[in-house]
Amino acid sequence: MEKLVIHGGNRLFGEVEISGAKNAAVAIIPATLLAQDVCRLENIPNISDVSCMVKILSQMGAEVKYINKHTIEINTKSVNSYIVPHEMTRQLRASYYLIGALLGRYNRAKVALPGGCNFGVRPMDLHIRGFELLGANAVVENAMINATADHLTGSPIYMDKVSVGATINIMLAAVKARGLTIIENAAKEPHIVDLANFLNAMGADVRGAGTDVIKIHGVQSLHGCTYSIIPDQIEAGTYMVAAAASGGDVIVKNVIPKHLESITAKMIECGVEITEYDDAVRVKSNGEFKRCNLKTMPHPGFPTDMQPQMAVLLSIAKGTSVVSEGVWDNRFKYLDQLIRMGANVQVDGTIAVIQGVPELTGAPVRADDLRAGAAMIIAGLAASGITEIEDIIYIDRGYEDYVEKLRNLGADIYRKEIKENNVGFNAG
């Protein structure tokens, strides 16, 4: 096991290249099940969530060829099972996309309930209701979702709540259903559009992705294609906040600035200087920040997956900021770690009141989940002294080569092996 050690206080300077989007990749890889042909995927991020999803497909019988670090070819023709057991799904939240993809391919799916980041109850009722409206019988039994249909039929589906996962799962199941599916109140995240583009490149007929209403005309079959995944909005946002919190000057490259608008707007409100280019943003800061209020919402609102990182910036801003978490019920657990570093925070349900302090101080902390871990890194970079972060396995799930990327920007950060007999502060 490893931990991260950060000697804080270095300003970040230079350029950083953003990888392909995790949340697009983990939806597009299972979508290859629908084609039974060779799909060549480019700009795939080299992170453990992706290798986990690829491994699941190859364990199911798919032929997977790594062309290089960021390009894979997947042929799912020889997959011959619609069952995915717990051993395969437990590490990965996005394994639930296998339900929609297998249902679309076989009219059957039996997939163990997923693992992944834990920030409160993560229900799947909207996914199940969507499958049922398409004509499947879907039940949870023995911690598995078992969905079966004679055939799937397109249907109007109104989503009571905006859900990224349910929108994607319904899209996967509906592309080969008979007739027209209309998803209303659909999620609009950039990776929903990316998945729709990928499905269309395979011969699907999906329109309206990126708006509230997605229309899917079912097609009989899909074919292989070559597709390049969009840059990761959240990885980009994380480096933007890291650059700012360190008082640095960084060009974040290979991004789609439009996807970053809600993040950019908030950072500008905090006094950070941001310049947009065609496929890059420059972030410049003198290390002094103004307070602001923040509410996370589905896209195009401020992303919940950037809430912990932004909270770190607000913890060293002048004045009091109010952060409202509008997507998840329980996403402030990591603030206990930030408090260990000197932050002044009060939490009441889904609201955190952050009274800015002049500086954070290094401490031993842990990564409670992927984005919480990213926030701890940012805090460690901005803090004085040494920060040690445990449970970094969560961070490895979603950020490619982050230690190298940060070191290239001038950060003093490295991995250190935790010795077996070295009992961590959070053991037991």
CA angle 183, 232, 263 (to 5 degrees): 85
8 Cα distance to chain centroid: 26
Which DSSP string do the residues of 194-228 spell out, in sequence order? HHHHHHHHTT-EEE-BTBSEEEEE--S-----EEE
List binders of ligand UD1 among 121-140 (CB under 6 A).
Answer: 122-127
Residue 304 interacts with ligand UD1 (CB under 6 A): yes or no: yes
Residue 349 interacts with ligand UD1 (CB under 6 A): yes or no: no
- List CB contacts of 404: < 8 A, sequence separation 6 or more: none
CB of 27 to ligand UD1, least distance (A): 7
352: left (phi over 0), alpha (psi -120 to 50) or beta: beta
Helix (H, G, I), strand (E, B), or coil: what is residue 287?
Answer: coil
CA dihedral for 398, 53, 297, 348, sign (positive or negative): negative
In the bound state, the residue with its beta carbon closest to ligand UD1 is 165
Q: Looking at 10, 19, 23, 181, which residue binds ligand UD1 (CB under 6 A)?
A: 23
Residue 319 interacts with ligand UD1 (CB under 6 A): yes or no: no
CB of 211 to ligand UD1, least distance (A): 16
CB of 20 to ligand UD1, least distance (A): 14
Q: Which stretch binds ligand UD1 (CB under 6 A): 161-169, 208-216, 378-386, 413-421?
A: 161-169
Which DSSP string do the residues of 103-172 spell out, in sequence order? HHHHSEEEEEPP----SS----HHHHHHHHHTT-EEEEETTEEEEE-SS-B--EEE-SS--HHHHHHHHH
Let me know if 117 is a catalytic residue. Answer: yes
Q: Looking at 33, 94, 195, 252, which residue binds ligand UD1 (CB under 6 A)?
A: 94
Q: Looking at 93, 266, 340, 405, which residue binds ligand UD1 (CB under 6 A)?
A: 93
- The pair phi, psi for residue 119, each rounded to 5°, is -125, 65
Closer residue to ligand UD1 (CB): 31 or 280: 31
Strand 13-17 to strand 249-253: parallel, antiparallel, or no bridges (unpaired)?
A: parallel
Closer residue to ligand UD1 (CB): 29 or 74: 29
List binders of ligand UD1 among 395-424 (CB under 6 A).
Answer: none
Residue 183 interacts with ligand UD1 (CB under 6 A): yes or no: no
> Choosing from 39, 117, 225, 292, which is the catalytic residue?
117
- List CB contacts of 126: < 8 A, sequence separation 6 or more: 159, 160, 161, 163, 166
Residue 48 interacts with ligand UD1 (CB under 6 A): yes or no: no
- How many residues bind to ligand UD1 according to rule CB under 6 A? 20
On whether the CB atoms of residues 389 and 363 are closer than 8 A, the answer is no
Task: Reply yes or no: is the peptide bond before residue 300 cis, omega within 30 of 0.
Answer: yes
Residue 179 interacts with ligand UD1 (CB under 6 A): yes or no: no
Residue 367 interacts with ligand UD1 (CB under 6 A): yes or no: no
Closer residue to ligand UD1 (CB): 272 or 327: 327
List binders of ligand UD1 among 257-286 (CB under 6 A).
Answer: none
- Residues designated as active site: 117
- Contact residues toward ligand UD1 (CB under 6 A) are 23, 26, 93-94, 122-127, 161, 163-166, 187, 304-305, 327-328
